[in-house]
Amino acid sequence: MSGIHELPLELLACPYDGAALTFAEGDSISCAAHHRFGCFEGVPDFVPGSDNQARTAESFGAKWEIYRDEDQAASNAFQFRWYYERYGFADEAEFAAFLADKRTILDAGCGLGRDVDRYARLSSAEVVGFDLSSAAARALRVYGGERRHFLFGDILRPPVRPRAFDFVVADQVIHHTPATPRAFAILAERVAPGGQIAVYVYRRKALLRELADDTIRELTTPLTHDEAVEVAEQFTELGRELSHLNATITLERGIPLLGIDAGEHDVQRLIYWHFLKCFWNDELGYDQSVLCNLDWYHPPYASRHTPDEVAGWCTEAGLDVVHLDVGDSGISVRARRPA
């Protein structure tokens, strides 16, 4: 475990006023203006509370609680492969080469911490991960250690210094904030000259899927965690049964109005992409597939974006796009701050 006194304070800042931080009595940290930050479950806590954000924290915190250790290895392998594909790295070796000159890395919305651990393992950088939810406490328990630091923090009031990080990542995170473009700008501002940012956000989907998502989410986001899990299970079972049909249909003309291409469609994929998110993946299995659906329908915020919007955020922040991957589900961008 990495204790509070091992924190690289030179990379951190007061979330209220950006002031430098110092260690204070007990296990606490204070800023020049005397804001005080203690620990919660051993994790330095830099989150100034607010209602909806608290709900995001709750939704994800509960999600992580049902996440079983034995599922994690399979999920990590899947996520790492997908990460390299999206951000434009051939494999882990190429990614390690990219990290070789990085001295400081920030993982904003680090969740369970698997990426913080991976960055520290593949580089010699100090790696700081923060998250709004109790996931940060679990991350500290599982991955805390040398060059692996975990905090409670909010991207919209980040506890880290501007221009201090050679690599800033927010993977599958900022669409869950109430102000996605602002979250991007704030994180871009943490990138040091010559450094890079990597961000994944949900992509805007086809017409009926967007309408359905907005309407269904109005019903599902207020549910309790257990109620939402039940709905997510029902959607998952629909996805599984459709998927196991192994059925395809061919549409000669497609339906351009609804974003449906001409050609052959797997029935589950056709419904999934154009009408209703009913995720199913045989490799991930039932529980992980349920989590994926829960992740879509329960968090209070889940904004969707276009490639042009994402490229525009980079330009506005003074960053040059290095790699832009437009997938069916989301957009991954890597952008660089000129030296």
Ligand X SMILES: C[S@@+](CC[C@H](N)C(=O)[O-])C[C@H]1O[C@@H](n2cnc3c(N)ncnc32)[C@H](O)[C@@H]1O
Q: Give me the helix-helix angle, 69-87 and 92-99, nearest 10°.
A: 70
186 vs 260, which CB is nearer to Zn ion?
Answer: 186
Cβ 135 to ligand X, closest distance in Å?
A: 5
176 binds, among ligand X, Zn ion, none (CB under 5 to 8 A by kind): ligand X
Among 45, 117, 154, 189, binds ligand X (CB under 6 A): 154
Residues within window 245-264 making contact with ligand X, judged by CB under 6 A: none
Which residue ranges make up the site for Zn ion (CB under 5 A)? 14, 16-17, 19, 31, 33, 35
- Selected binder of ligand X within 45, 117, 126, 131 (CB under 6 A): 131
Site string for ligand X, 60-79 (x = CB under 6 A): x-------------------
HSE-up of residue 96 (Cα within 13 Å, Cβ side): 10
CA distance 156 to 187: 9
- Residue 111 interacts with ligand X (CB under 6 A): yes or no: yes
Beta strands per DSSP E along 136-217: 148-152, 165-171, 191-202
- CB closer to ligand X, 164 vs 198: 198
Residues 115, 158, 323, 92, Cα dihedral to 10°: -10
- For ligand X, the closer of residues 155 and 197 by Cβ is 155
User: Would you list the DSSP string of 255-304?
Assistant: BGGGTBPSEEEEHHHHHHHHT------TTTHHHHHHHHHHHHHSSS----
Whole-angstrom distance, CA of residue 123 vs CA of residue 119:
6
171 touches ligand X by CB under 6 A: yes
* Helices H / strands E in the chain, number of each: 11, 14
- 60 or 89: CB nearest ligand X: 60
From the list Zn ion, ligand X, none, pick the one residue 294 interacts with, judged by a Cβ distance below 5 to 8 Å according to partner type. none
Cβ–Cβ contacts within 10 Å for residue 187, how many?
A: 26
Q: How far is the CB of 319 from ligand X (least distance, A)?
A: 20
Q: How far is the CB of 159 from Zn ion (least distance, A)?
A: 10
Minimal distance in Å, beta carbon 71 to ligand X?
13
Residue 247 CA to its chain's centroid (Å) = 33
What is the binding site for ligand X (CB under 6 A)? 56-57, 60, 109-111, 131-133, 135, 154-156, 171-173, 176-177, 295
